[in-house]
Structure 1
Amino acid sequence: MKMKKIPQRMCTGCMEMKPKKELIRVVKSKEDEVSVDLTGKKNGRGAYICKSSECLEKAFKSKKLEKNLETKISEEIYNRLKEEIENGK
């Protein structure tokens, strides 16, 4: 039987390639709205982050999420990500 390929994405915090299902997606729509995409299916430019607070802190301090999405990210989105990481554990 053929092995199914698991999609890999890079975390913006630790810069490691991980399976897409293990990461949280942040997406910027065409209207420049930034939101947390838990389904991984929303339209728009996406950036991924590990489900660990260390990675979120790294991405926040280095502003890598903002660079990847090419827009300013509000404190509200970071708080939502932090909440999602804490609830996921």
Structure 2
Amino acid sequence: MAGKHRPGRTCVVCREKKDKRLLTRLVVMDDGLRIDVSGKMNGRGAYLCANAECWASPALGAQLARALRQELSDGDLDHLRQMTPS
């Protein structure tokens, strides 16, 4: 019998496919960008891996804007970069 299915997602920056639980989901809300800890927030989401290079990438803003289908403010990006995993 096959093993239990594990949902996978792709990091918007490095494009690596990983187990959904290993990625951080970002959701765009009316009041800005939020980290979805539960994985169940409503709204369009995008995933980032734990690689610090992805969080600090110059392409992060453009890749997230494309994935979320919404322009992001400089404040959103600055706030996001401050939360970079170590």
Query: Structure 1-normalised TM-score?
Result: 0.76
1:7-46 superposed matches below 5 A: 7-29=7-29, 31=30, 33-46=32-45
Q: Which piece of structure 1 moves more, 10-19 or 33-42?
A: 33-42
Q: Which has the higher helix share?
A: 1
* Residue 84 of structure 2 corresponds to residue 85 of structure 1: yes
CA contact (8 A) 2:46 2:68 kept: yes
Q: Deviations over 1:9-51 (max 9, x none)?
A: 000011011000111111124x474322121110111110111
Identical-pair percentage: 35
Name stretches of at least 5 consecutive residues in structure 2 with no aligned partner: none
TM-score normalised according to structure 2 size: 0.78
Q: Is the 8 A contact 1:26 1:34 kept in 2?
A: yes
Equivalence for 2:4: 4
Count of aligned pairs: 85
1:33/1:39 Cα in 2 relative to 1: closer, same or farther (>3 Å)?
same
Aligned to 2:72: 73
Unaligned runs of 5+ in 1: none
